[in-house]
Amino acid sequence: MRLLVTGAGGMLGRAVVDAAARLGHDVRAPARGDLDITDAGGVRHALLEQRPGAVVNCAAYTDVDGAQSDRRSADAVNATGAGNVAAAAAQIGAFVVQVSTDYVFDGSKREPWLESDRVAPLGAYGASKLAGEQAVAAANPAHAIVRTAWLFGAGGRNFVDTMLALGAERDEVSVVIDQTGCPTWTGHLASALVELAQRPSQTGIHHLAAAGSCTWNELAIEVFARAGIDCRVLPTTSDVSPRPAQRPAYSVLGSEREQPLMLPSWRDGVAAYLATRVAI
């Protein structure tokens, strides 16, 4: 299958390109300079020229705190841009896979969030991604919207790399215990996104994150243990060092689909990612 990946230079986009190539697909991965998803005409031209059977939209404005003061930029990419990709895909009869986020929820539940649960983003980033979901659904009936969470992987800023850097410099770090989610390795998610791109009948919303859950504090402990780093992880809470954007307290994603795609556990993801870092 010919698969076009937007945002191919980002952390998730790179992993999707690698996974698709490994599985033998004809992958098209235009650089940002060649495909700006905020340019509707440019997106239409690119898709008409490439004629993919499916598009995985990994292009995103991901600065959660920055979105609070720059909502226009977040909306341009996450909402308008996503709609542009979906509309152009519809023009050529291509299936579109849109990557979204757990931040569309307010974190008030204490059991996994399901696809049909009420959305209520706490900040501008989540609101922009929710607007993107709506734009995609309106522009192209042949769509899958994939909500995922707490991504880490090669090629982008992420919590695991931050902890590894801090652990190499310090004897102890303080990490919050009042936020719970599903840390998801891009390598695991990417393979699932490519698989979903080959299932045009699987339309609608999908929750797709690593199995199991933990706090950021527990994730840091796991990272140090796996990496053999002697660094104590102290508990703290998010109100000690408030950030511009409020984070959902509980971001665990579950699925009510009859046969949902499943990812390995978050611990397996940490181990696999660390193994790739060692190999490099």
For residue range 227-273, list pLDDT tens digits in order: 999 999 999 999 998 999 999 999 999 999 999 999 999 999 999 99
End-to-end CA distance of the chain: 29
Three-state secondary structure call for residue 173: strand
pTM strictly above 0.85: yes
Q: Is the per-residue pLDDT at 280 higher than 60?
A: no
Query: What pLDDT, on the 0 to 100 scale, is given for residue 277?
Result: 85
Query: What pLDDT, on the 0 to 100 scale, is given for residue 278?
Result: 66
Nearest residue to 227 via CA among 265, 267, 275 = 275
| 259: Cβ contacts below 8 Å, ≥ 6 apart | none
Three-state secondary structure call for residue 3: strand
| Residue carrying the six token digits 């990490």 | 175
Greatest C-alpha distance within the chain: 56
Buried b (16+ CB within 10 A) or exposed e, 162-181: ebbebbeeeeebebbbbbbb
Q: Is the per-residue pLDDT at 18 higher than 80?
A: yes
Q: What is the C-alpha separation between 186 and 144, in angstroms, rounded?
A: 18
Query: What pLDDT, on the 0 to 100 scale, is given for residue 34?
Result: 87
Tokens (6 digits) for 245 = 């954007």
Q: Is the per-residue pLDDT at 31 higher than 90?
A: no
Known active-site residue 273: no
Provide the pairing of β-strand 2-6 with 54-57. parallel
| 161: Cβ contacts below 8 Å, ≥ 6 apart | 152
CB contact at 8 A, 212 and 267: yes
Nearest residue to 226 via CA among 164, 147, 144, 152 = 164
Three-state secondary structure call for residue 89: helix
* φ, ψ (nearest 5 deg) of residue 70: -135, 60
Query: What pLDDT, on the 0 to 100 scale, is given for residue 279?
Result: 55
Residues of the chain with pLDDT > 70: what percent?
A: 99
For residue range 102-143, list pLDDT tens digits in order: 999 999 999 999 999 999 999 999 999 999 999 999 999 999
Domains of the chain: 2-158+183-210 (3.40.50.720)
Q: Given 61, 125, 250, 273, which residue is catalytic?
A: 125
